[in-house]
Amino acid sequence: MIVQGNIVDILNKRIYKGEVEVENGKIKAIREANHTVENYILPGFVDAHIHIESSMLVPSEFAKIAVVHGTVATVSDPHEIANVLGVKGVDFMIENGKKVPLKFNFGAPSCVPATSFESAGAVIDSDDIKKMMENPDIKYLAEMMNYPGVIYQDEEVLKKIAWAKHYNKPVDGHAPGVRGEDLDKYIAAGIYTDHECFTYEEALEKLQKGMKVIIREGSAAKNFEALIDLLPEHYENMMFCSDDKHPDDLLVGHLNELCERAIAKGIDVFKVLQAACVNPVKHYNLDVGLLKEGDDADFIVTENLKNFKVLQTYINGELVADKGESFVKHVDFEVLNNFDTDKKQVADFEFHSASDKIRVIEALDGELVTNEIEVDSLIEEGNLVSNTENDVLKMTVVNRYKNAEPSIAFIKNFGLKEGAIASSVGHDSHNIIAVGVSDEAICKAVNLLIENKGGICAVSNSEEKVVALPVAGIMSDKPAEEIGKAYAELDRMAKEMGSSLRAPYMTLSFMALLVIPALKLSDKGLFNGSTFQFTSVEVK
């Protein structure tokens, strides 16, 4: 097979008329050639950090859509399913991913559970990490979210890092806002990447201290604009990632969109493509071709180098996508889950108090970090309730693994004027998380998910909608197009109910993520991510 076009030689910063000859899945030859083909041939895109589960798709269905956008590989952290099902869940992701051509590169989740302040469905300890590191299918130790454990030298945390080093596998970082001496300690432990930077200054410090910064632009956390100006000078040490990509967004685009945006800012195309295609392969030592003779034939054909409209995607020499059509086939799989709690009563969501003020989570659109604010209480018959006028709504996290009393807190900026929304995609332990204007609406939404053993839903004054997620309570067993459309309808319904957030369900899913400051809610209570301690809803 011979593919002709303008060859984009990223490392040598050269574009020339040529052709790529493929034989037995490898690039046999790349040579200059005169022809009239105006398309461009370049290495495929590699997402440097993503949780496939957050697309609500199993890997095989994720691949079906991603290849259309020129993605040939991912660096995937199966942290979400591991928190539900442990090592068994990681094995499911690996085996399902092997059944399709896209090159998934899974890591060993380092923080299951993410903290001891929440209830997860499984535990992965340092002995488990050792066994996983022995597996050639495990490429790295996934994001070390327990940065306090690293900084203060927690023995179990350091053992996990030591096993990764023993097997010569990279350790991924996760250190939002960590600067100065604490950052020095974090790096000294052997952690050299971070995808959690949300300011230019933070990312610059990490780059200057030798870390590789991954620019994240997902469905909830969007740091592209804050960090992209660092790329021209630091392109050799930067990459692109999604982290979390919801299905409706994935149907529209993937890393091709980030390349288009970077080029529109006037950044040199070779620098952009080095971050998007080359750096992840080299840093993680991936078996992914970089458009060189002898490499695996993993490359894409684009219409131009401005909007990166992908015409064809090849993986191991196989044409897997052509002009928007994916050739990745559906695969059957066993549905695994871990969901065992009974339906709740409205009274379970009451919060009896006489406090004049309450401590409230302030959600920030497009960010995983939150603020802590204090507001006046609204009390009805001794029960703290939502205040829709001030957009301070009651929220809950319900343990999905056993019967337990729901935890209650309050949150600002969801904007709902009626009903409630809920999700069993609640990072990191994936308990049920809900927010609503009344206890009745919250209870109805929570019970809808319990009935379905996982999913996302919206309950308004006039209708109910639910997208069931039977695979671990976080992924669908349906095709990508179907789940993407259904999710988009739910997203639209939440916005019709008043939410002004760009991605209300994605934002909701991170309000239980305790390792991101400042204030979050677990099934055990309101938690201060800055001090790593529980705190009170009531302001004494």
Quick check: 292 pLDDT over 90? yes
pLDDT at residue 207, as a whole number: 98
**Residue 426: pLDDT band with limits 50, 70, 90:** very high
Q: Could you tell me what percent of the chain has a pLDDT over 70?
A: 100
Mean pLDDT, the chain, rounded, equals: 96
pLDDT digits (tens, 9 = 90+) for 194-252: 999 989 999 999 999 999 999 999 987 889 999 999 999 999 999 999 999 988 899 99
**How far apart, in whole angstroms, are the C-alpha atoms of residue 27 and residue 295?**
6
**Residue 306: pLDDT band with limits 50, 70, 90:** very high
pLDDT at residue 133, as a whole number: 97
Provide the CATH topology of domain 48-284.
TIM Barrel (3.20.20)
With beta carbons less than 8 A apart as the criterion, state whether 29 and 46 touch: no
**How far apart, in whole angstroms, are the C-alpha atoms of residue 202 and residue 213?**
10
pLDDT at residue 504, as a whole number: 93
Quick check: 457 pLDDT over 90? yes
Stretch 175-197: mean pLDDT: 95
| Local structure of 16: helix, strand or coil | strand
**How far apart, in whole angstroms, are the C-alpha atoms of residue 486 and residue 278?**
35
Secondary element (H or E) of residue 272? helix 269-273
So where are the chain's domains? 48-284, 346-534
pLDDT digits (tens, 9 = 90+) for 92-103: 999 999 999 999
> Using N-to-C axis directions, what is the helix angle for 155-166 and 126-133, rounded to 10°?
10
Strand partners of residue 5: 18
Radius of gyration over every alpha carbon of the chain, rounded to an integer in angstroms: 23
pLDDT at residue 93, as a whole number: 98
How many helices and strands in the chain, by DSSP H and E? 17, 29
**How far apart, in whole angstroms, are the C-alpha atoms of residue 430 and residue 473?**
8
What is the identity of the amino acid at 452?
A: N
pLDDT at residue 540, as a whole number: 83
Half-sphere exposure of 49 (CA within 13 A, CB side): 30
pLDDT at residue 130, as a whole number: 98
**How far apart, in whole angstroms, are the C-alpha atoms of residue 6 and residue 19?**
8
Return all residues near 127 (Cβ < 8 A) that are at least 6 apart. none
pLDDT at residue 435, as a whole number: 98
With beta carbons less than 8 A apart as the criterion, state whether 443 and 348 touch: yes
Return all residues near 196 (Cβ < 8 A) that are at least 6 apart. 173, 174, 175, 176, 177, 216, 368, 516
With beta carbons less than 8 A apart as the criterion, state whether 112 and 119 touch: no
pLDDT at residue 532, as a whole number: 87
- Please tell me whether the overall predicted TM-score, pTM, comes out greater than 0.75 for this model: yes
pLDDT digits (tens, 9 = 90+) for 362-371: 999 978 889 9
**Residue 41: pLDDT band with limits 50, 70, 90:** very high
| Local structure of 300: helix, strand or coil | strand
pLDDT digits (tens, 9 = 90+) for 468-521: 999 999 999 998 889 989 999 999 999 999 999 998 998 999 999 998 889 999
- The number of angstroms, rounded, from the C-alpha of 520 to the middle of its chain's C-alpha atoms is 18
**How far apart, in whole angstroms, are the C-alpha atoms of residue 16 and residue 5?**
8
pLDDT digits (tens, 9 = 90+) for 353-401: 999 999 999 999 978 889 999 999 999 999 999 999 999 999 999 999 9
Q: Is 79 or 481 the better-scoring residue by pLDDT?
A: 79
Q: Provide the pairing of β-strand 407-412 with 357-363.
A: parallel
Q: Could you tell me what percent of the chain has a pLDDT over 90?
A: 91
Stretch 396-418: mean pLDDT: 98
Compute how many other C-beta atoms are within 10 angstroms of the C-beta atom of residue 508. Answer: 26
**How far apart, in whole angstroms, are the C-alpha atoms of residue 160 and residue 90?**
17
